[in-house]
Structure 1
Amino acid sequence: MISLTDNSLPKRTRSMARSRELRFNAFNMMAPSHNWAGLWSHPRDTSLDYNSLDYWVNYARTAERGLLDGIFLADVFGVYDVYANGPETALRHAVQLPNAEPTLLVSAMALVTKHLGFGITSNLTHEHPYQFARRFSTLDHLTGGRIGWNIVTGYLDSGARGMGLDANRAHDERYEAAEEFLAATYQLWEGSWEDGAVRRDRAARIFTDPARIHPVRHNGRHYRVDGIHLAEPSPQRTPLLYQAGTSRRGRAFAARHAEAIFLNGQTKPMLARAVRDIRDAAKEFGRDPYDIRLFAGATVIVAPTRAEANDLLAEYAEHVDQTGQLALLSGWTGIDFSTYRPDQAVQYVESNAIQSMVENFTVRSDRPVRVGDLATLSRIGARSPFVVGSPQNVADELIAWADETDVDGFNLFRLVAPESLDGFVDLVVPELQSRGVYKTAYREGTLREKLFPGRGPRLHVTHPGAGYRHAPANAVQPSAAE
């Protein structure tokens, strides 16, 4: 029997041995600049049209043509003003600013696709469960069950101030509030309307059976709800749940609630450790560790030959704005990198921002990470898999990362749009298909059913949200003796 991790095998043989199908999301943001600051200035980039429907409709069509699992839409609530203690750099260099509301894009993209999923980042800190649950139920209806929610709690104090608060909640308190938010939304999505409550009975003139409707009464420290969920049950009820927390507290939250997790790591051992920690944590919550799909961020530059791909890398690198990139990193980490020299190593600082990122640059790294390197389009600057080459080179690398780290797939960072996604779809997808590690057609069903074949459209019974369901009205209840 061939081991999937037998590194003595040739790369081509190892790729054929992989038993789990690779999965991909196109990772983008409704802003002129996303993970790589400055690429909007590239002459072939169309991201200046980020606020037009044509841009997104065409992007969705390309993603579905490539049989991608979904488009993962990032979002940030606030302004990157940590760098140099002000927003000027972010404004000048379009560091995820301006940005627009991503949920409003989905209906248009869903209309021109049939299978593509949509993972939407929404910050629960500045939402209320009652209105939020209705919005995502509506999106799940309009897409036929293709909606996922990337659960975030926010890390920018500027966003909190914009909402009338003095500062963001402390890191661990944000997750405590998130636990409560989910408890309330689970009740709305799963427990307010029983199966069969919606009758649509024209003859009897009854649309809904009131006996099968339950008000939600949640009285918590951060949120209060007293009401019936406003939307009827959608195909998935609860949207597919994404999360990206890999700090100690974030990992526990993700292992309990997430069905798909987005994580980073600039080396295979670092990423493998993060994967192992999450899967082990899932077992502590009584979940099968493979009930969670794990996606690593990936920067992929592909061309027909390795030489052409290296030329593309050099061309793209000229347009990456190093000052803008440091402003982005400052916001993510809570560290003002304007006070560092380019040759200075990043030092560990406990912040109220993305703790796992600071740990990856410092205590988890096997060598010092210099600030100047983080601002370049490079393996170090990428913070995650960085793959450049021919379709064969790229396929080899992605399969190796998956085999050696145990991730299920990758979130493909936006570079030059739509060129980078077109290249992946036209060059890498056929190569992966030829090796038997990527689908040749979509499965039917909701986003959850596509990611977990044979599971059904709703949360698995081991998921904490499933505990809020009501037994069917005609179900036989067990006796006290049983």
Structure 2
Amino acid sequence: MTKKQIRMNAFDMNCVGHISHGMWTHPRDRSAHYTDIAYWQNLAVTLEKGLFDGLFIADIIGLYDVYKGGPETALLAGAQTPLNDPIVLAPIMAAVTKHLAFGITVNLTYEQPYLLARRFSTLDHLTRGRIGWNIVTGYLDSAARGLGGDKLPNHDARYDVADDFMEVVYKLWEGSWDDDAVLRDRERGVFADPAKVRRVTHRGPHYAVDAIHLSEPSPQRTPLLYQAGSSDRGRRFAADHAECIFVNGWNPKAMGVIVRDVRRRAMESGRRHDDIKAFAGISVVTAPTEAEARDKHAEYRRHASVEGALAHFSASIGLDLSRYGLDEPIGFVKNDANNSALEAITKRSPDKVWTVRGLREQMAAGLGSRHPPIVGSPSQVADQLVDWIEEADVDGFNLIRTVTPESVEDFVALVVPELQNRGLYKTAYEDGPIRQKLFGTPRLPARHRGASFRPGAGHRAAE
């Protein structure tokens, strides 16, 4: 039996329908108030009460317009549409909490590293080191069209661009300002010592920068780095850059293969096994007894939007599932969408042939998601979480909301005390930035690729 301390993030999105599509129609659901500051601040306070490590905020650029050849289904279901910017949520939630961290998803394909570096430094300052970046490269052609292109760049090529992007931001965050560059000397009228501030120069295959980082060093310098890609190229990227990986699926054994592979690759790059923490996406329906939990699940299920889930999944895998017969097998077709999502039901499910009929059944049981929830009493939920920890080799979970805020409040009130009673969950926060809480240091360790861009390190960070 594991004695690993279980880490918990909530998993959300600045929209009505995130993963469990259709739940916004439930009479107790409040996600339609996602445009209100109070909605997010109340969530943050609840999560901090439950000693959650962070709130992982997803994002996507573009509309889900693959299913049935247009965006109508996603619009009807509210499937991640409309969708507001995730990054602005962190300061308003940080204002009412002290420890809760925020993992913000930002698609680097449509960003410039010079400006993004300042944005995350600003957030890290405002939150006193409670900020992380979920690094994504996107998967929707609709995003490319919205930003002046025709279609998304090639899947693997996007990661090549991302590697160059990361080199730029590492140079800016780690190499431009010395820790003691800012003096704030009122008597001499000297705010910063120019001799301790360096101009970053970069001439890479995709980006060129010649500038001083606009922000002084923040508590973490580099934000905590998350990554969620599970394709082969995504795993290579994670092994080089990620400190936390997000893995999704309903098969803990297959998930464990991905987690162990990323850690193996990281160790081959000179990092340590425990330099990467893995989080599995789960949803939970719980109540004081198993019977009550199952009744609640049946009640929730009546609000599930299978059509919304199909619109979401079709866009994710780049295949219009409305064109498939109900019992026609879904095979792997490499494209420039989310390859790992398609691999999850093809290559990583060898004992099952997936069809649209099977997906529809799974999505109904999954409350508008293809991932079935954990349903049971607090003790039963805790047992399953422990099983996942052991079988998938993960460190914790990203809790997906179903009916909100009820699902999070239930977890905090019922499951957290059960885990604490078993000695598997903290009873108080540690002090310091989020990287300090997770890894024991507020800054990137010297063996991380980003640390090599510090002055005097292996790479020439700045000139």
Name the amino acid aligned to 2:134: N
Aligned to 1:287: 271
Using a 3 Å threshold, how does the CA distance of structure 1 residues 441 and 468 change in structure 2: closer, same or farther? same
Quick check: 1:394 aligned with 2:381? yes
Aligned to 2:455: 470
Aligned to 2:395: 408
The match for 1:243 among 216, 227, 232 is 227
Quick check: 1:349 aligned with 2:336? no
Using a 3 Å threshold, how does the CA distance of structure 1 residues 268 and 379 change in structure 2: closer, same or farther? farther
Q: Which piece of structure 1 moves more, 277-286 or 377-386? A: 377-386
The offset of 1:340, in angstroms, is 1.9
Distance 1:420 1:393 in 2: 16
Aligned to 1:478: none
- Unpaired runs of at least 5, structure 1: 1-13, 473-482
Distance 2:367 2:17 in 1: 20
Q: Which piece of structure 1 moves more, 269-278 or 388-397? A: 269-278
Aligned to 1:274: 258
Aligned to 2:407: 420
1:249-270 CA distance string (max 9 Å, x none): 0000001100000012321221
Distance 1:202 1:151 in 2: 39
Using a 3 Å threshold, how does the CA distance of structure 1 residues 380 and 313 change in structure 2: closer, same or farther? closer
Name the amino acid aligned to 1:432: L
Using a 3 Å threshold, how does the CA distance of structure 1 residues 193 and 206 change in structure 2: closer, same or farther? same
The offset of 1:403, in angstroms, is 1.1
Distance 2:296 2:335 in 1: 36
Say if 1:265 and 1:385, in contact at 8 Å, map to a contact too: no
Distance 1:57 1:471 in 2: 42
After superposition, residues 94-105 of structure 1 pair within 5 angstroms as 94-105=78-89
Quick check: 1:258 aligned with 2:258? no
Say if 2:309 and 2:370, in contact at 8 Å, map to a contact too: no
Using a 3 Å threshold, how does the CA distance of structure 1 residues 237 and 382 change in structure 2: closer, same or farther? same
Quick check: 1:110 aligned with 2:94? yes
Say if 2:259 and 2:392, in contact at 8 Å, map to a contact too: yes
Say if 2:3 and 2:423, in contact at 8 Å, map to a contact too: no
Say if 1:45 and 1:418, in contact at 8 Å, map to a contact too: yes
Aligned to 1:475: none
Aligned to 1:328: 312
Aligned to 1:199: 183
Distance 2:244 2:356 in 1: 31
The offset of 1:382, in angstroms, is 5.0
After superposition, residues 368-379 of structure 1 pair within 5 angstroms as 368-375=353-360, 376-378=363-365
The match for 2:11 among 13, 27, 50 is 27
1:346-371 CA distance string (max 9 Å, x none): 22111211111111101210211232
Name the amino acid aligned to 1:464: R
Aligned to 2:435: 448
Distance 2:333 2:378 in 1: 40
The offset of 1:380, in angstroms, is 11
Say if 1:25 and 1:71, in contact at 8 Å, map to a contact too: yes
Say if 1:47 and 1:417, in contact at 8 Å, map to a contact too: yes
After superposition, residues 21-420 of structure 1 pair within 5 angstroms as 21-365=5-349, 366-375=351-360, 376-378=363-365, 386-420=373-407
Distance 2:202 2:59 in 1: 28
1:416-463 CA distance string (max 9 Å, x none): 10000000000000000000000000010001011113xx21001110
Identity %: 54
Distance 2:406 2:432 in 1: 30
SS of 1:295 mapped into structure 2: strand
The normalised TM-score by structure 1 is 0.92
Distance 1:416 1:385 in 2: 15
Distance 2:367 2:72 in 1: 26
Distance 1:385 1:24 in 2: 19
SS of 1:231 mapped into structure 2: coil
Using a 3 Å threshold, how does the CA distance of structure 1 residues 240 and 266 change in structure 2: closer, same or farther? same
Q: Which piece of structure 1 moves more, 266-275 or 199-208? A: 266-275
Say if 2:16 and 2:34, in contact at 8 Å, map to a contact too: yes
Say if 2:136 and 2:227, in contact at 8 Å, map to a contact too: yes
The normalised TM-score by structure 2 is 0.96
Name the amino acid aligned to 2:154: A
Distance 1:457 1:433 in 2: 26
1:307-329 CA distance string (max 9 Å, x none): 11111111111111111110000
Distance 2:436 2:232 in 1: 30
Using a 3 Å threshold, how does the CA distance of structure 1 residues 444 and 113 change in structure 2: closer, same or farther? same
Using a 3 Å threshold, how does the CA distance of structure 1 residues 80 and 279 change in structure 2: closer, same or farther? same
1:150-169 CA distance string (max 9 Å, x none): 00000001001101011111
Distance 2:82 2:371 in 1: 25
Name the amino acid aligned to 2:312: L
Distance 2:264 2:279 in 1: 17
Say if 2:21 and 2:368, in contact at 8 Å, map to a contact too: no
Name the amino acid aligned to 1:204: R
SS of 1:193 mapped into structure 2: coil
Say if 1:374 and 1:382, in contact at 8 Å, map to a contact too: no
The offset of 1:19, in angstroms, is 3.0
Q: Which piece of structure 1 moves more, 185-194 or 281-290? A: 281-290
